[in-house]
Chains A and B, each alone.
Chain A
Amino acid sequence: MSKPKVATASLAGCFGCHMSVLDIDERILKLIELVDFDKSPVDDIKEFTGRCAVGLIEGGCANEENVRVLQDFRRHCDVLISVGDCATMGGIPAMRNNIPLKECLDEAYLNGPTVYNPSGIIPNDKEIPLCLDKVYPCHEVVKIDYHMPGCPPSADTIWQTLVALLTNKPVDLPYELIKYD
């Protein structure tokens, strides 16, 4: 019997949550016994090869590419999990949510105190995904089955959640593992 597959992605995040996945240390060997990785930066598979049991999403949706990836994950994964505060509530990128996009771009590329931009051009290549009006928590774009808070969630949190899901047990985290920082 083939092993269930797991896919992961980092949207508007810092890859910290992915680092935390690696923080499960030697348990990663056990994880490999339990699952295969599909689309993920861990194995650098760029597009889904088939249906996945679990999708782990780090980061919220700050641009259209994030939305495309997230929707793709929703289509391919049985269970989709928001991993970390950015996926859950937008995180630090969402600090821009009550500032108009134009002001954010101007601050970042023209007016900010550390900006050096003699051309005065705001990058606008057609390859650059368009920013959204605000940073959306993942569950405001697609249906999310579980939220794993934390910045990042600890390796234990990720491990216990994954193991519970893969062994059909309820995800019931103890007090020490629900943390928002």
Chain B
Amino acid sequence: MSVNLTSAIKEICKFCGNDRTRMMDIVRAVQQQFGQVSDEAMNYIAKCVNCHRVEVESVVSFYVFLSKKQKGGVVIRLCNDVVDKMSGSEVVAEAFEKELGIKFGQTTPDGKITLEYAPCIGMCDQSPAALFNDEIITYLSTDKVKEVVADIKKHYDPSKLKHRLGDGHNADELVHSCVHNNIRNKGRVIFAEFKPEAGLKNALAMSSVEVINEVKNARLRGRGGAGFPTGMKWQFTRGAAGEKKYIICNADEGEPGTFKDRVLLTERADMLFEGMTIGGYAIGADEGILYLRGEYAYLRKFLEKVLADRRSRNLLGKDILGKKGFNFDVRIQMGAGAYICGEETSLISSCEGLRGDPKTRPPFPAQKGYLGKPTSVNNVETLCCVPRVLEMGAAWFVEVGSAGSPSTKLLSVSGDCKQPGVYEIPFGVKVSELLKMVGAEDAQALLIGGPSGQIVGSADFQRTICYDDLATGGAVVVFGPERDMVAVAADYMEFFVEESCGYCTPCRAGNVLLKKYLDKILTGCGEPEDLDILQKLGESVKITSRCGLGQTSPNPVLTTLKNFRKSYETKVKKTTNGMQPTFDIRKAVKGAETIAKRDSVIFVK
């Protein structure tokens, strides 16, 4: 074993306290330094942290940013999300292959650059986009690919790539990114002017029970999609047995088409950490974790600085703002490319240095969460609402919005619209109003809540966006009249096939089969009964899956089957000759014809 590798790993593990639960940090660091986590590396890590080698491998093999195989010093990951494809990522992909002289999944012969696809990287409003290690390059075109590939070949250092700077904190020297915020509509809660620390000061003047009651009175519900009442979650966590408790912010925004948390992390980091601090006070936690998706690593240094500033201002640390006995701090846990980690129990597994498998419920995180301690996991936007509730009061918070869904919601809007970006709108807005706002009046379909939400057509455009009608974690993707909704459903199913953790049967195998039937229909081999199979298979996956991923992954199929049935029906036809339309004799004998150097005489071309 190379001395270099062992000494580096020894140091990395030591830095992480030789703590097995810090496995994510350890393997990320090894990957970054060596471009792989090799067999040797896994053996040595296991030795350092006193676990089994196969346990290290179970983590390394789970996250797409980690790999056992050697990768280039620069890994280019082109986003292949549906929206990126709509804005031309396929041409961009060809350009990358041409400029680099390699195919996707390959590394250049000099070993310096690896080219891969990535699922939604949270840049749909400025797509096509790609990651160059941690750096993000947006609005890609064939010309831009030429430029950026020529640039990277000069220094092989993504941080030196030349690009324009984005707006707001994107231009901060610690972010130094070309990403744009595209804040299109500012509402009264999140993007309005607010008084920093006013909410925290008010909270600290109250008892923690009073803080929870205020949040309950504000009827604040989780903004990540599930809509669980935040006050209740905090109350359960506070009331759970045990001294040690945690609050975790879920910044693993991975739902295709969502990017509003990225904007919050960029422009409202202080507000977020204030919310976490109030949450920590409310539930009795002295530690918070920000779980940041690997794709947003470019924001890490900036967020660390915001945290450091807050520590120096006694907004974090001991006896915060003079409140005796209230100690609270936040650490950042980086993810490494796994959509499933947005699921709260997977996220906890990942924070514990494990594969991102969801945990069995019960017990719920509020009872037994991170390291077995009561834990509240809250979305970025939810936590950003908290300081405003405490600053302005619950009564103010509920003034706008609809009865069951008070206040405002951030929407990440992208796709076939004139004004993609982030919109803060009051709950209860009609879909048609939103479409007008974003410049998409000719929309054929709308994906609300990301692929795990639903795809609706014009019949539903008079419905409202709120928890009681069209619920959404924030992703809104617009599809113009030209789009084939069956193809869209198939693309989203491919995403779920890639992102299923594989723990339970229906999600692991069912999604693969759903995709297969969609492909069958899209290649013109579908028959009417396939629609019935799709429906039944989709329902089985939905009903029997273990976690939210599988329970919602058939939605692109089930909701398009319902709302765009015609599109399916025009693609399928009944076969009458008893033959299977999927069987292709030409394809089946092609290999043998090549090997035997003769053509079939039974099935003449």
Contact = CB atoms under 8 A, between A and B. Distances in A.
B588 A133 contact: yes
A141 interface: yes
Interface string B574-593: 01011110110101111111
A64 B591 contact: no
A100 B603 CA distance: 22
Interface in A87-146: 100-102, 105, 122, 124, 126, 129-134, 136, 139-143
A151 interface: no
A165 B568 CA distance: 35
Interface string B539-575: 0000000000000000000000000000000000001
A140 B598 CA distance: 25
Interface in A136-178: 136, 139-143
Contact of A130 (B575, B580, B583, B600): B600
Nearest to A74: B578
B601 A67 contact: no
A75 interface: yes
Nearest to A101: B591
A65 interface: yes
Contacts of B601: 126
Contacts of B575: 143
Contacts of B578: 74-75, 80, 142-143
A133 B587 contact: yes
A136 B596 CA distance: 20
Contacts of A136: 583, 588
Interface string A53-78: 00000000001110110010011000
B1 interface: no
A80 B587 CA distance: 25
B598 A124 contact: yes
A93 B503 CA distance: 31
A67 B585 contact: yes
A64 B600 contact: yes
B192 interface: no
Interface of B: 575, 577-580, 582-583, 585, 587-593, 595-598, 600-603
6 contacts: A64-B602, A100-B591, A102-B591, A124-B597, A130-B600, A132-B589
Given A64-B602, A133-B591, 10 more contacts: A67-B588, A101-B591, A101-B592, A124-B596, A130-B600, A133-B587, A136-B583, A140-B580, A142-B583, A143-B580
For the complex of A and B, the 9 pairs showing the least CB-CB separation, nearest first, are A130-B592, A74-B578, A132-B588, A131-B592, A141-B583, A101-B591, A64-B602, A143-B578, A130-B589
